[in-house]
Amino acid sequence: AHHIDSKTGKMQKIILYEFLPQKDYLFPQIVIAQKGEFEEKTLGLEGITFYLFGKNYRILRQGEFNSQTIYSASRLLKKREEIKRTGELSLTEISQKLKEEKAKEKLDKEKIKELAVEFHGRIAIPLATFLLALIALPLGISIKRGEKSISLGISLIIAIIYYVLFLAGRFLGKGGLLPPYLAMWMPNLLLGIACIWLTRKVTKI
């Protein structure tokens, strides 16, 4: 800071250097603020101009905005802990957040789809594991003892196909191309059909 008021703690002409994680930015981003003041664990800035430099040290981007609040490292860590990603939530937490999102006046459809896909996926995967085990039984019976490796190979192929379908379901569900429940349960439905077909085939042998 160019000047700091000893009584109020307010600062003028502040220069900050921000080192960005991307490899394209070898030089730090420079932020110049006309005024600034510390409040608890935050730094409030006013009258901001920033400069972003590329590999050749030329200005790639620059801009201005009225104000910005910068959190200290400890505050940032705390905020990260408070805001869990959907994948880190338990099934109960996902269900609760889904209800909260649906109850809002202004619906966030993208968030609802993401939560719904995660919720149905969490239930579908354990059932899929059970169905894959059921499929392995008729395969082991129908194939001769000396060809158990073939049975294992077929089971592995089925598991890979299921995983690909599951990922496709996540994409279709989050993209809104299919309802989340249908997108996540369709692979299980196909597994169930395959299980029934193989079981009936074995019983006829």
Number of domains the chain contains: 2
Same domain flag for 140 and 91: yes
Interval 77-105: pLDDT, tens:
444 444 556 777 888 888 998 998 888 88
Q: Which domain holds residue 33?
A: 3-82
pLDDT at 147 over 70: no
- Residues 121, 55, single domain; the answer is no
Q: What is the pLDDT of residue 76?
A: 42
Compare 126 and 54 and report the one with higher pLDDT: 126
| Residue 146 and residue 65 share a domain | no
**Section 143-153 average pLDDT:** 60
Give 114's contacts (C-beta < 8 A, 6+ positions apart): 86, 174
Same domain, 155 and 58: no
| 56 and 114 inside one domain | no
77 and 130, same structural domain? Answer: no
Domain end residue (candidates: 82, 112, 128) = 82
Under 8 Å between Cβ of 128 and 162 = yes
Instruction: Looking at the structure, tell me whether residues 75 and 100 fall in a common domain.
Output: no
Question: Does residue 16 surpass a pLDDT of 50?
Answer: yes
- Higher local confidence (pLDDT), 26 or 114: 114
